[in-house]
């Protein structure tokens, strides 16, 4: 079967991870990458050419009408998923987001998965789980049965989820454990190795065990130390 062409948006570390997973899935042919950085155009990322700036996307598509699909190769930015949201909201109007699912992941046939998701090797998605759009689930993490994951959620490596809900725009950092039937709402930032033994409301930073909660506002992310951000494995 002829592989469908795909464009990757972004040229940084996350884009390189996406390339690895796309190649392993062996379902799509990478046509090239698109960037917002002028100095990246015409350079190679893992052997694939950076074709143009994002402002020239419509021209690129008009010249290559067989390109219908894309994947967002941009990770979280300074502890927030807002940049990703802004990007895919615009790109979805032009191209179709596809799922990149590593063949070494384990996904229940009774689960439901939206569009634009990246699921890495050695992840486990349990039965009757629902995953939204544009999520990223890293290797060695487990989403147990009957959970609901919103849109644009990052679940980093070695995470164990036994709760019920992860709200859209939330980041779950490395080594986090979410206790049985607990809920994490929208736009939260869960620091590495935290243990969630209570429900977490919208827009909260959570650190430690037992968990310490701080309300996220426009200044708090700027005040986070580099040590905390390093526990969030995906960056811009």
Distance CA 229, CA 225 (A): 7
Torsion sign (Cα): 60, 61, 65, 68? positive
| 4-74 has CATH 3.10.20.310 classification | no
Distance CA 160, CA 93 (A): 34
The pLDDT value recorded for residue 21 is: 98
Tell which wins on pLDDT, 229 or 87: 87
pLDDT tens digits, one per residue of 138-165: 999 999 999 999 999 999 999 999 999 9
Contact between residue 206 and residue 220 where contact means Cβ atoms under 8 Å apart: no
Q: How confident is the model at residue 68 (pLDDT cuts 50, 70, 90)?
A: very high
Distance CA 84, CA 87 (A): 5
The pLDDT value recorded for residue 1 is: 72
Q: How confident is the model at residue 43 (pLDDT cuts 50, 70, 90)?
A: very high
Residues of the chain with CATH 2.160.10.10: 100-230
CATH of domain 100-230: 2.160.10.10
Lowest mean pLDDT segment, chosen from 78-87, 134-143, 148-157, 214-223: 214-223
The pLDDT value recorded for residue 218 is: 60
Distance CA 112, CA 135 (A): 13
Mean pLDDT of 193-217: 92
Is pLDDT of 128 > 60?
A: yes
Contact between residue 33 and residue 49 where contact means Cβ atoms under 8 Å apart: yes
**Residue owning tokens 């980041």:** 171
* Average pLDDT value over all residues in the chain: 92
Contact between residue 187 and residue 202 where contact means Cβ atoms under 8 Å apart: yes
The pLDDT value recorded for residue 227 is: 44
Mean pLDDT of 216-225: 61
Residues of the chain with CATH 3.40.50.20: 4-74
The pLDDT value recorded for residue 226 is: 44
The pLDDT value recorded for residue 153 is: 98
Is pLDDT of 224 > 80?
A: no
Give the rounded percent of residues in the chain with a pLDDT score beyond 90: 86
The pLDDT value recorded for residue 219 is: 62
């Amino acid at each position: 079967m002829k592989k469908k062409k795909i464009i990757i948006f972004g040229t940084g570390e996350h884009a390189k991870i996406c390339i690895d997973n796309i190649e392993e899935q062996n379902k799509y042919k990478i046509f090239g990458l698109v960037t917002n950085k002028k100095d990246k155009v015409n350079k190679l990322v893992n052997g694939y050419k950076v074709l143009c700036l994002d402002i020239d996307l419509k021209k690129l598509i008009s010249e290559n009408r067989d390109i219908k699909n894309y994947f967002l190769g941009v990770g979280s930015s300074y502890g927030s998923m807002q940049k990703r949201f802004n990007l895919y909201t615009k790109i979805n109007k032009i191209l179709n987001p596809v799922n990149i699912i590593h063949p070494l992941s384990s996904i229940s046939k009774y689960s439901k998965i939206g569009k634009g998701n990246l699921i890495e090797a050695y992840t486990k998605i349990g039965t009757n789980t629902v995953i939204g759009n544009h999520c990223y689930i890293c290797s060695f993490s487990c989403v147990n049965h009957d959970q609901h994951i919103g849109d644009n959620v990052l679940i980093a490596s070695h995470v164990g989820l036994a709760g019920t809900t992860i709200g859209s725009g939330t980041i779950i950092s490395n080594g986090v454990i979410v206790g049985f039937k607990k809920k994490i709402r929208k736009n939260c930032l869960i620091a590495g190795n935290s243990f969630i033994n209570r429900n977490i409301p919208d827009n909260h930073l959570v650190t430690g065990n037992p968990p310490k909660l701080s309300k996220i506002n426009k200044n708090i992310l700027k005040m986070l130390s580099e040590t905390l951000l390093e526990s969030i494995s995906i960056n811009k």
